[in-house]
Chain A
Amino acid sequence: MAVGLASSGHSTLDEEARAEVDVLNSRLEKTTQLTKKIQSCLGRLDATGKSVRDVTGPLNGETRRLQTLGNNIDSVLAAIERLRQPADSKNDEEQIIRVGPDKAGLPNYLASIKRLTKSLTDMQASNLRANQQTMADLARLIKSGNTQLENHFDKLLRAETPRSIEPLHYITKDKPFPVLSQDKIARLGLVYSYVAASQQQGGQESPVARIYAEVRGPYLSLSLANLAAASVNTAKKKNPDAIYRAGTNGIGTYAQAMEGLFLAEYDNVCSIFTREDWGIVFQSTCQAALAELARTLRELNAHIKAHLHTDCYLAYEVTEILSALSGKLDTRTGELKGSLAAAAKPVRETAKSSLSELLDETRRKIGGLQVLPSDGAPIPVVSESMQRLQAMVEFLRPISSIMVSLGDGGWKSSAASNGRSTDAIPSLASFDIGADGRDIFAHYCLDTIDVLLSSLDQKARMLLKGRAVAGVFMANTVVIIGRMVHDSDLAPLLESRLEVLDQWRKKATAAYTDVCKDLSVHLFDTIHTNRSHRPTSGPADSATVIKGLGSKDKDKIKEKFTQFNSAFDDMVSRHKSYSMEREVRKMFGDDIRQKLQPLYDRFWDRYHEIDKGKGKYVKYDKSSIAAVFLSLAS
């Protein structure tokens, strides 16, 4: 320590140092106190700061919210400003709307109305009380604008739509049916697309579509009215017995016109409307014309039913024409199939039931016969029935389709004849996979032939006296049936299936030539092998044979000749008295000749010497009887 080293000089120095230490100590003291003060100050400050923070935090959030609110208010004000703008432009648009699409120009008009609609939508969105009045005005304006548009559509379309056209003009000249002009279609399309867009929310039929159907529907049905009437008129008969001839009814032209008109109309519809509306617009446009068709077909059906035996063919024709029409329209448009089927249904049902009814009628007619020609002449019901089949074959196509839906033998069921639809209750037969209409029709023909033959056979047995004349009558019937098949379009269908006629022919021939049995008895002789004079077999010498006979045997031979002669002459005169078809006379004549001539010739060869050529017993020699036999066949 330095203090220790410097004793004298050191004492002042010490003093000074001591003083300095004191000073320093007191400063330290002060500093310490100050520090304490500062510490307490800091403590206080801290407490104050905390409370300040607690106060200013929420204050800040509020300020921010206030700022956002301020911005929002600004935006709202701007929106209101914007919203109010159209209300201001309302006057301009109103002018356009009031002037109408004609004067303002359709595009201009549509643009205006679109703008108005948009404004209204916006206003409805904001729903400001301040705009209430304007919104009402706008709505009124838009409504009147739409109405004007519809009127415009209506006017345009009406101007383009004649009251009616004469379809024959287009059919006979093979000209396409008229469609709406391109520019009109463009304008109508424009209106429609606006209306369709604006009406979407409604979900109901667009008023424009309704207008379209209202304007075009009458045009279609009026244009077809004459042909509809003509179809009914041409069905009326001058001669009640005349069989309907294919193509003589107006229905063909009617259907042709309908096809042309409908297809042209479908083109119009497709050009104006959007795809999803094509069907509904087209359907409703054609509605009136289809109703007229249905009415016409009902009238035709009543006519056919009243004249079924002559006019059933018209039912077949109508069925075919309508199914063709429906097919063509369906291919092009995919529409109307159901309506056309419904319209055609009564006629088709009549066509179907006609088959069994006609068969029953034949049966009834024959059953009701009180008398048959006593000479075996054929009766008209045979050729009438065959004519009916001949006429039917001209309608083979529709008949085939009817046959298929009827099913093989379907005409036999009583269900088919009592007029109820057989569609509803299909018989198993109608599902017959291989059922071919042609074949089924052939079966129908064979059934008809069978009904004819078996019921006539029954009648002939009841009403005609004797098997011979019944044989003549049946053979005539068979021959007429065969001939009428052979000489007509029935031939390719039936000729190979007519074995049944052969059987009847055989039966009839057997019945007629039964008489040969009685005649042949007179020509049968008997040789007793135990007697002496027995002729050699083979050609005999008559003189020798006669010589070998005892007088009793000779008498027998004489009697045989006599009896044969009278029975033969009787047979010949009766044969000539019968009324026979040429073929029948030949068939019977040949049959008799083939049966009797060899027997007679043999008998003559053996016994003609019985009267030594005087002709007392032997009336016919071989050549003279041959001539008689030949005469039987011609």
Chain B
Amino acid sequence: MPALCGGSKTVQRKLVLLGDGACGKTSLLNVFTRGYFPTVYEPTVFENYVHDIFVDNVHIELSLWDTAGQEEFDRLRSLSYAKTRWKNVESKWVGEITDNCPGVKLVLVALKCDLRENGEGEEDDADAGEQREKRPTITYDQGLEVARRINALRYLECSAMKNRGVNEAFTEAARVALSVRKDREDSKCVIM
């Protein structure tokens, strides 16, 4: 029986997507919030989408912060706080997050996992891989290992292009966000 939205309380949570430029943060958000994969790459400066979802019967008003991954916006990003890249996950993004938003909960999401199949099972990197460029991908275990190291609460993989695992990623992130009761917003860290 579909419970009415107004019936239960609405909670607000903030998710910040961080990751290297062109790793697919905006694409992921597009697939999640509108259901289609954008074909044109336009570097994001900043966007804030408010998106309603239900997780475990809780109505969550997710504030999804899309950020600029490009280095030229490094300074700007500190205003929305966060950052990412595969190799950069540990070296850059985690450091930036702890600088700007210490104590926030992290969820590590590997993107473009479709590239793995393209690479015929080679270890391709999901990182910022522009189309045909053959780049090594990471394995699930490698991703998990990094997630552990950075104390991420979840490690997920998805492909925005194939719309695989996208909803799961946001749902899990929202769940983590939900687990933080009174605390401040949660940030979710997206890794290419």
Instruction: Give A residues with C-beta under 8 Å from B.
Output: 516-517, 520, 524-530, 534, 537-539, 591, 594-596, 598-599, 601-602
Chain A residues with Cβ below 8 Å from B72 are 594, 598
A56 vs B52: C-alpha distance in the bound complex, in angstroms?
A: 161
Task: List 17 extra interface pairs beyond A517-B79, A526-B49, A598-B68, CB under 8 A.
Answer: A525-B48, A526-B50, A529-B51, A530-B51, A534-B34, A537-B30, A537-B38, A537-B42, A537-B47, A538-B38, A538-B42, A595-B75, A595-B78, A598-B46, A598-B72, A601-B45, A602-B45
B41 to A, closest residue via Cβ: A538
Judge whether B48 and A529 touch: CB under 8 Å. Answer: no
Partner of B50, one of A516, A528, A594, A598: A528
Please name the residue on chain B nearest to A538 by beta carbon.
B42
Note all chain A residues with C-beta closer than 8 A to B45: 598-599, 601-602
How far in angstroms is the closest Cβ of chain B from A33?
A: 157
Q: Which residues of chain B from 116 to 140 have any CB-CB distance to chain A below 8 Å in the complex?
A: none
Interface string of B45-69 (1 = CB under 8 A from A): 1111111100000000001000010
Is the Cβ of A599 less than 8 Å from the Cβ of B51? Answer: no
Question: What distance in Å separates the Cβ of B70 from its nearest Cβ neighbour in chain A?
Answer: 10
Q: In the complex, what residue of chain B is closest to A596 when comparing beta carbons?
A: B76
Q: Do A520 and B79 touch (CB < 8 A)?
A: yes
A279 to chain B, nearest CB (A): 68
Chain B residue at minimal CB-CB distance from A519 = B79
**B84 interfacial by beta-carbon distance below 8 Å:** no
Known: A530-B52, A537-B30. A599 touches B46 (CB 8 A): yes
| 17 A/B residue pairs, CB under 8 Å, sorted by A | A516-B79, A524-B46, A524-B48, A527-B47, A527-B49, A528-B50, A529-B33, A529-B34, A529-B49, A538-B38, A595-B76, A595-B79, A596-B76, A598-B45, A598-B46, A598-B72, A599-B45
Tell me the minimal C-beta distance from B69 to chain A in angstroms. 13
The 7 closest A-B pairs by CB, nearest first: A538-B42, A594-B75, A602-B45, A529-B33, A520-B79, A529-B51, A598-B45
Shortest beta-carbon distance, A214 to chain B, in Å?
A: 78
- Min CB distance, A608 to chain B, in Å? 15
Q: Does B44 contact A (CB under 8 A)?
A: yes
CB of B31, distance to nearest CB on chain A (Å): 12
A457 nearest CB across to chain B (Å): 18
Measured in the bound complex, the distance between the Cα atoms of B74 and A594 in whole Å is: 8
State the Cβ distance, B142 to closest chain A Cβ, in Å. Answer: 31
**What are the residues of chain A within 8 A of B34 when measuring CB–CB?**
529, 534
Q: Chain A nearest CB: distance from B55 CB in Å?
A: 16
- Bits for B28-41, please: 1 = Cβ < 8 Å to A, else 0: 00100110001010
Interchain CB contact (< 8 A) of B76 among A525, A538, A594:
A594
Chain B positions within 8 Å of A594 at CB level: 72-76
Q: Which residue of A is nearest B32, CB measured? A: A529
Say how far A602's CB is from chain B's closest CB, in angstroms: 4
B44 pairs with A537, CB closer than 8 A: yes
The interface residues of chain B lying within 8 Å CB-to-CB of A538 are 38, 40, 42
Check if B159 is an interface residue, CB within 8 A of chain A: no
* CB of B26 closer than 8 Å to a CB of A: yes
Residues of B within 8 A of A530 (CB): 51-52
Least CB distance from A502 to B in Å reads: 13
Q: Which residue of B lies closest to A592 (CB)?
A: B75
- Bound state CA distance, A211 and B113, in angstroms? 102
Chain B: CB-nearest residue to A602? B45
CA distance A525 to B46 in the complex (A): 9
Bound-complex Cα distance A219 to B30 (A): 100
Interface centre among A516, A520, A598, A602 (most CB of B within 10 A): A598
Chain A residue with the shortest CB-CB distance to B38: A537
In contact, A527 and B26 (Cβ under 8 angstroms): no
Known: A529-B33, A529-B34, A538-B40. A598 touches B76 (CB 8 A): yes
Q: How far, in angstroms, from A538 to B41 measured CA to CA in the complex?
A: 8
A520 to chain B minimum Cβ distance, whole angstroms, is: 5
Do the beta carbons of B79 and A539 come within 8 Å of each other?
A: no
